Structure formats: structure tokens, C-alpha cells
A and B are shown apart, each in its own frame.
Chain A
Amino acid sequence: MRCRQMLLSGTVLGAMLVSGGCSIQPWVKPYERDRLADPIMAWDRDAISSAYLDHIRESREGSRGATGGAGGGCGCN
């Protein structure tokens, strides 16, 4: 019985979350995003340049990945 109640509660909670998720209203309206659209707010304005710098680092460090840019090869003997 308790198991069924938990299952029901879970289903209701899940349904609430899903329905709530679908009705999320953007708290930053499109007309408020002019600053975010400024090129200076781009994560990466020049992917090739960033990839090159990441490549240099990955050739000389033990860490790798999750940076959003990397480069193949290295020529780093």
C-alpha cells in the first residue's frame, strides 16, 4: 500500500515537474537580451584561435578536455 502511495506521489510530482517545465516562462525576455547579444559576451569569438591556444596547452599539460576548444596534433617533441 505504502509502495503504491509512493508511486502515485512520484507520478504526480513528476507530472507537475514536467508540466511546470513546459510552462517555464523566460525570466529574461528576448527584448532584454541586447547585452547578451553583444559580441563581447560570446563564449568564444574566434574558435580557431582558441583551439590553437588549447592545443598548445594540451601538448604541455596532463589535463585535457571540457574547454570548448582544442587542436589536433602538436609537433611538440
Chain B
Amino acid sequence: MTNRHIFARAAVIAALLLVRSTSADVLPDDRADVFYSKYSGGGMDITGYSATARAKITENFAVEANYFIDKVSGASIDVLSQASQIKDERKQKSGTIEYLHDKTTYTASYTSSVERDYISDTASISLSQDMFGDLTTVTLGFSDTHNTVGENNGTADDPNVAWIGHALSRAYSGGVSQIVTKNFIAGVNLQVITDAGYLANPYRSIRYLDPTNPKGYSLGNQVYPDTHTSTAVQVQGKYYLPYRAAVTAIYRYYTDTWGVVGNTYELDYTHPIKNRWIFEGRVRYYKQSAASFYSDLFPFADSQNFVARDQNLAALDNTTVGAKVTYAFLPDGWKFFKRGTVTFDASRIRFNYLDFRNIKDYGVPQYTPGTEPLYSFNANVFQVFVSVYF
């Protein structure tokens, strides 16, 4: 559980809808998915299971339901520095309705996510409008999220959760998708998110120089501002190559009131073989600056009003290399199934922290505080899912 919950939840459906509604004249096909995922990295293992069903009640009205379970075990670098383990489970349910009228699609969603120490509810609405001969699709979205934040003061197997605060989040989204030529489509998305309330991660700590401690430092509580506003703009283009394949280029610029500035670059290549296989490769690079109140090592306790040592707020970069293969096992349909696919997706991510140091399990002090090695780790992400369209 981190403050990223607050952020992610606010972005969930409004952002999803931005992309989903690039064509508003016809609602997408009925579809059902079962999904398995595995994340391993930084001392954490997260296994996810999901089922989704989507159906058109009429040609203009569709409903969708999703159920997702995340099971977490292990301990991240922060937790290791405080000698405790994590074992948790998150259950998320969501429901969506879509209504198509002429060239406008109206969407409303509700998502509820429950963990032992975190509860989040999000309501979203959006509309998508096709215009200019269906060359342009404009989407507007809004979502409202309410989070209840807890802290487990017990152990992984014997939890004792204290509820310590609430956070409200609102996300405002706008997007345009534009057909530029018969081979090229471009898009731009803008999203502004505001948060208020308890925004810190109770499981992460600052550290400050303390000559009275044999390690040379002590740990203390993080103190975050109770408001946060972020702005993200993403531009993207997709080009159909002279042969049957596509390349996608994506750039995102991010800035927020905490002083974090992030830049994301991504390049994807998609290559089908006949009507059975689709191969996809991607490379992504991300870099951010640190939040203004972040420090790996503060000079003394209470040295400033706001203090953080959350690795998400450190200066960092990461590089992702990924591959995805989709196989159509029902390319031409069967009975009432239009088609069916199975997809494998694997990514490897290298995280490098530029001012977050690895302070775990050195035992007898080997390093002067502030000279420990910078933290880095590799993560592997694996997904497999089966989709049937009907």
C-alpha cells in the first residue's frame, strides 16, 4: 500500500476510457478475458488474477464487469530496513456501462478496491465524440476517488490495522485522437489530478543523521503536504508501415506541485503473421527528478516541514524491454464465438535510483551514512491471458 494507490485509483477509469473510445460509432465487440500476471522484483512477488466480461445489451448499450485479485508477498527495500515482511491481498471489482447515441459514447464506471489496510472507491464518467467525418475523436473524462488509509501495526500473519486517514482525489481528462493519413494516426491526452488528505505512505520512513545511533542514522516518520496536483500530457503516433506492421511512438511529460518532473519515451513495433499471430516488441525509458522535499538522508530530525524518503519520489530512471505474442486459436470463429486469442507478455525492467541508497542488512556499520551504494534492481513481469470475442 502506498500513496500511489491514491494516484492510480484516480486515474483508473477516466484514463482507460480515453483510449478505449477512439471509435465511437460502434460499440466494441462482446468479449470475455481471463488473466494471470506475475511480478517479481525488488524483493516482492505479486501474483494477479482477473476475469472480465463485456456484453452489448443492445446495439447502443453495453455493460462490463471486472474482478481482480492481487496477492503480494515478500518485502521491499524499505520494509527490509525496518525488518518486517509483507503478505497482503487486494480485491478489486469494477462495473462499467456505455451508451452510444449517434456519434457520442457516454460511459459511467464504478471501481471498488479493498486491501487489509486500504480501501478505495472511484466513480467515473466520460464522453467521447466523433467528428469531422470521423477523422477526429474527442474525449472528456472525470473521476472522483475516496481512499481510506490504514497502517498494519501487527505482523503479516497477525495484522492489527489502525485507520489513520482519508484522501480524496479528482482526475480531469481530455484527449484527441486524429486520423492524419490513411497510414498514420496521432493522439494527445491531458490529465490533471488533484489530491487532498493523507498522501504519505505510512510504511516508508525518512532517515536522518544521528551520532547517538551506532549506525550513524535513525529513522523517522515521513511528513507529506496534504495537497498534490499533477499534470501529464502524452502525445503518441502510430504508423502503418509499407508492409503489414505498425510502429508506435509515445512521449509523456509530467510535472507536479511536489517538484517531480518526469519524461517517458516509448517505441513499439507490432508485426502480424497471417491471421494467426501478432508479435509485438517495446522499449520504454523513463526518467524523473526528485520531489522538492525528498532526501535520502536529512541532516537532523525535523529539519524541514515536509520530509520524504519514498523511493517513488527519488530521482530515478528505468528501462523496460518487453515482448508480446498473441495467437488466434479461433481466427475464423466457431459457433457463436467470433474469434479467440491467447496472449503472452513478458517485460524486464531495470530500475536505477540516483539518490536513494541501499541501507538494508549491512549489520555492523560498513558505510558512513550517505555513502552506501545507490539502490537498483531488476523486475520481471509476466502476463498470460485468454480472450474470446462473441
Q: Which A positions have Cβ atoms within 8 angstroms of B?
A: 21, 24-28, 30, 32-33, 35-36, 38-77
Contacts and interface: CB of A to CB of B under 8 A. Distances in A.
B351 A60 contact: yes
Interface in B334-362: 343, 345, 347, 349, 351
Contacts of B89: 75
Contact of A65 (B20, B50, B191, B312): B191
A29 to B, nearest CB: 8
Contacts of A48: 33, 35, 50, 52, 66, 385
Contacts of A44: 19-20
Given A36-B179, A48-B35, A67 B15 contact: yes
Contacts of A67: 11, 15, 189, 232, 234, 252
25 contacts: A26-B133, A26-B135, A28-B179, A35-B182, A40-B240, A41-B185, A41-B238, A44-B19, A44-B20, A47-B19, A49-B343, A58-B7, A62-B256, A65-B171, A65-B173, A68-B189, A72-B5, A72-B8, A72-B12, A73-B90, A73-B92, A73-B115, A75-B70, A77-B2, A77-B72
By DSSP majority rule, is chain A's interface helix, strand, loop, or mixed?
loop
Contact of A74 (B5, B20, B270, B311): B5
Please classify the interface of chain B as helix (H, G, I), strand (E, B), loop, or mixed, using the class held by over half of its residues.
strand
Contacts of B203: 77
Contacts of A52: 35, 37, 48, 50, 383
B232 A65 contact: yes
Q: Which size class do B's interface residues fall under?
A: 35 or more
Contacts of B185: 36, 41, 43
B2, B115, B189, B313, most chain A CB atoms within 10 A: B2
B18 A53 contact: no
Contact of A64 (B11, B37, B113, B244): B11
Contact of A39 (B35, B230, B278): B278
A43 B8 contact: no
Contacts, number: 235
A66 B189 contact: yes
A48 B383 CA distance: 10
B252 A66 contact: yes
B22 interface: yes
B196 to A, nearest CB: 16
B88 A53 contact: no
Contact of A61 (B18, B316, B345): B316
